[in-house]
Amino acid sequence: MATRKKTTKSNVKSTSVLQYQGIEISEAECAKKATAQFRVDYKGVELEKLEIYIKPEEHKIYYVGNKDCTGSVDL
């Protein structure tokens, strides 16, 4: 019987990539685009929390910043 080494937990790095009808975009790229659009739409407002919603059928990234600032940007 083989013995298993006990390993310590480490942070696993992962990436997410959306592929849809010839579009390929990573989660990081979506967050970057949404953050940039937030800064354009809400000048002077500090971004503390960002939620992104990707709707590839609409070719849009929707975002909610700081729980009440909403907007969208093209994929």
pLDDT tens for 29-60 read 999 999 999 999 999 999 999 999 999 999 99
Q: What are phi and psi of 11, to 5 degrees?
A: -75, 120
Query: Residue 50 has what pLDDT?
Result: 97
Contact in structure between 27 and 9 (CB atoms under 8 Å): no
Tens of pLDDT, residues 16-27: 999 999 989 999
Neighbours of 62 (CB within 10 A): 15
Q: What mean pLDDT is predicted for residues 1-13?
A: 74
Residue 74: pLDDT over 70: yes
Using a 10 angstrom Cβ sphere, with 0-12 exposed, 13-18 middle and 19 or more buried, the burial of residue 65 is buried
- Asked if pLDDT for residue 10 goes beyond 90, the answer is no
The pLDDT score that the predictor gives to residue 9 is 74
Residue 30: the pLDDT is 96
- Contact between 50 and 35 under an 8 Å Cβ cutoff? The reply is yes
